[in-house]
Structure 1
Amino acid sequence: MIILKNLTLSDGSINDIRIDGGQIVEMGRISDSGTDCTDLIGLSGFVDPHTHLREPGFEASETVLSGTRAASAGGYSAICAMANTDPVADDSNLVERVYDLGVEAGLCFVQPIGAVTKGLKGLELSSIADMSTSRAKVTMFSDDGMCVHDENLMRQALLEVKKFGGVVAQHAQDPKMTVGAQMNQGAVATELGLTGWPAIAEEQIIARDAQLAQETGSRLHICHLTTAGGVEVVRWAKSKGIQITAEVTPHHLLLTEELVRTYDPVYKVNPPLRTADDNTALLAGLVDGTIDMLGTDHAPHSGEKKDCEWENAAFGMLGLESAASILHQVLIQSGAGDWKLFEEIISKRPAKLASLDNHGFIKVGAQANITVFNPHERIAVTEMNQSKSNNSPYLGLEFIGRVQHTIYQGQFSMMNQSVREH
């Protein structure tokens, strides 16, 4: 049994919470002693709609065990694992393998994402129906890392997931417009002599797929939105009643293309870091609800793939352990939003997207998946080291605000050492 004392919830109320048998069994004032959470914020367990766990196939970069350790340290009680493993998670056997590895690790819930197309090749649909009825109960499908570029194939995928209320999560990138692209297209790319990545390559795919979602009446999710124009396209689609959701990553809220001047491959990411104006538009879209949620796009890479020249380095950066601290900085510390919105962005909405019924709530009778966040404690990024990889773009930085405890299925899966009994 766990009792959390004096915990401030997102609505500002202060509660004691008794957890027993994996569930929240009592809330209010409890006379028994427990873990003192005075001045700490209690939020429904974080849910990441966009994680790369690399297993099977790329265990030198990450495993399900190491990835879920990082997730738990970052406050996540559930993560959605992308399909671009080796072999690709494009059938029921493969998604069940990832699901079982998550159960074995036991640190957070691992919901596999199935590939839209076989082998991520964009030629024919994967076994979408079989994955949806498998033990992993897959509801989200994505070729992330690759865009489902063929219009007819994308239409077929949307119609297929509609049969069971699923969703296609699109990596919006027109491959014909991004051949050899290394960074955001613009003056900095020209100055550095690197091939530019135009914003329109993202925006026109979003617009096309929004229209396909409207035509089919199906659900569409946009992965890692990065441009001001993309925000406007999603805003337009929502105004038309199209079933579209979108995510933004921590790095696209905080970092800009100016960092590429260092030629440090840690800043090489797909889609690329954009401009400060794009960052501003992304935050505004997050605050007004155009962008629904935060997705880390946690993309660990071994030193072999990152410690090399820029042109040869892999795209991607770590995100799970630092995401909440960054969201706290850009949303709460800046005054742009409050704790209710914070919880919606990092927990409730992604749980709904992925159809995770046991996540996104703090109430009596609910499964106890709770993140306790300390908005006052400083943490250096060098202390965030649960991943097997170290390609964090935030090394050398310090944030105010860190995850204090993560409770998954009624048990502490991560507990900060500075625990106080009351």
Structure 2
Amino acid sequence: MNSQKLLLKNGLVYQGGQLQRLDLLLADGLIAAMGSDLTALLPSDCQTYDLQGKLVSPGLVDVHVHYREPGFTYKETIKTGTQAAAHGGFTTVCAMPNVSPVPDTPELLNALQKRNHTDGCVHVKQYAAITQKRAGKQLNDFKALKAAGAFAFSDDGSGIQTAGTMYAAMKAAAAENMPLVEHIEDDSLLQNKGVMNAGARATALGLPGMLGLSESSQLARDLVLAQQTGVHYHACHLSTRQSVELVRLAKAHHINVTCEVAPHHLLLADEDIPADDGFYKMNPPLRSVQDREALLAGLLDGTIDMIATDHAPHAAAEKEGGMCHAAFGITGSETAFALLYTQLVRKHKARLEQLLDWMSIAPAKCFGMSKAGALFVGKPADLAVFDLEHEFELQKDSYFSKGKNTPFTGEKVYGATYMTFVSGKLVYKKED
């Protein structure tokens, strides 16, 4: 039990859907009290931080990160990945299973969960794979993996290519009342080993394109199967306006679907790619301006439920040499909140309350994380403090992640993480 007692004074606290000036008392890993004046409740050994009006948010929740351990620790480790998460204000993250060995048995899942707990400085929930070795063929034992503590099931990094396998997976997940989380991509529609969105910019750069149809066609298939099975189906990293329209239609028909969008798809389009630069190579790729606008519209009208980073770190050498040779993926844990606050909230495209909902409350609610995504007395003291007033520059040397692969480095933004607390413990504090 965390016995540290802390008073956070004069914060602008997001609680119960409202922003209000409150003090918070943290004790024994929990929020012990909230109010306008907690002086009478203070124990003698209490440490006090005067936040001077900084934003206090529920700890951010990211349902889509890649920590590369075991198997690829030169890219990222659980330790560096969770330090990056804390630096970005995240207190709960959900780690994808595309590591080696793949967590596709209870024994392998347990070993990875122990490592997450030992090495992680934030809460790490672990996905188990849908199929053996994520090969898209043979289903894993969902009942046993659920009993071993799997957060949900995903083969992220690969789409399930056959409808029969997906149908069986959905039935098995539904039987265990577990979410099935899908990387949506029909490999048969990926022609010419595409590296960016198929369109005018790809043509101008002389690069092979990736059809948006590879995403939307498989999503359409999955939504029909989800309707038949009743499974909680979660669509990863939507990138096309057709995908948004399909989810909107599915929700109108009461299909049990949730979905996410990544920060880079909200902020960039393919026409923003300045050159053949591997830092702009990600999967799904940056799409058209019309797609980007449709994604934001989908967030604003509730079609898209949440924002998830798809934090995908790589070694420097893996992003060099142009798009045709670079690995797919962009980091996001350390840049997401500041970029989105700066580009959406400060530019009046969304309200701060909406951004905090998309990044904390909605993911916790959609995935039934009862201990995350809210600030209430008696709840775990998982929270983040952000400085919304002072501009700063995203700098490569300040990243905790091993992966520096983001084109946003050098951007001037607002919303620096000032402090992050996990179960009442200070796990990140900005240097003064």
Shift of 1:340: 2.5
Unpaired runs of at least 5, structure 1: none
What are the superposed Cα offsets for residues 326-353 of structure 1, whole Å, 9 maximum, x if unpaired?
A: 2212331122322322221101121233
SS at match of 2:137: coil
Which residue among 167, 171, 176 is the counterpart of 1:159?
Answer: 171
Shift of 1:262: 0.9
SS at match of 2:402: coil
Which residue of 1 is the match for residue 210 of structure 2? 197
Shift of 1:387: 0.6
Which residue among 67, 72, 76 is the counterpart of 2:90?
Answer: 76
TM-score by length of 1: 0.95
The answer to whether the 8 Å contact 2:279/2:330 transfers is yes
Query: Partners of 1:34 and 1:414 in 2: how far apart?
Result: 16
What are the superposed Cα offsets for residues 13-35 of structure 1, whole Å, 9 maximum, x if unpaired?
A: 11100000000111102125721
What are the superposed Cα offsets for residues 203-259 of structure 1, whole Å, 9 maximum, x if unpaired?
A: 111111111111111111010001111111111111111111110101111122124
1:362 paired with 2:375, answer yes
Which residue of 1 is the match for residue 152 of structure 2? 140
The answer to whether the 8 Å contact 2:142/2:176 transfers is no
Q: How do 1:331-350 residues align onto structure 2 when only pairs under 5 Å count? A: 331-350=344-363
Identity between Structure 1 and Structure 2 (%): 35
Which residue of 2 is the match for residue 169 of structure 1? 181
The answer to whether the 8 Å contact 2:78/2:120 transfers is no
Which residue among 202, 227, 232 is the counterpart of 1:219?
Answer: 232
RMSD of Structure 2 on Structure 1 (CA): 1.4
Shift of 1:310: 2.1
TM-score by length of 2: 0.93
Shift of 1:195: 1.8
SS at match of 1:13: strand
1:30 paired with 2:42, answer no
Query: Partners of 2:242 and 2:134 in 1: how far apart?
Result: 27
Which AA in structure 2 matches 1:287? L
Q: How do 1:274-285 residues align onto structure 2 when only pairs under 5 Å count? A: 274-285=287-298
Which AA in structure 2 matches 1:34? T
Which residue of 1 is the match for residue 341 of structure 2? 328
Which AA in structure 2 matches 1:6? N
Query: Partners of 2:133 and 2:59 in 1: how far apart?
Result: 32
Which residue of 1 is the match for residue 112 of structure 2? 98
289-298 vs 103-112, which deviates more? 103-112
Alignment length, in residue pairs? 416
Query: Partners of 1:111 and 1:291 in 2: how far apart?
Result: 22
1:107 paired with 2:115, answer no
1:385 paired with 2:399, answer yes
What are the superposed Cα offsets for residues 90-133 of structure 1, whole Å, 9 maximum, x if unpaired?
A: 12222222221221124101111111111111111123221111
1:417 paired with 2:431, answer yes
Unpaired runs of at least 5, structure 2: none
Query: Partners of 2:105 and 2:114 in 1: how far apart?
Result: 14
Which residue among 304, 315, 321 is the counterpart of 1:302?
Answer: 315
Query: Partners of 1:97 and 1:334 in 2: how far apart?
Result: 45
Query: Partners of 2:139 and 2:422 in 1: how far apart?
Result: 35
Query: Partners of 2:106 and 2:391 in 1: how far apart?
Result: 43
Residue 148 to residue 190, structure 1, CA distance change in 2 (3 Å) = same
Query: Partners of 1:346 and 1:165 in 2: how far apart?
Result: 24
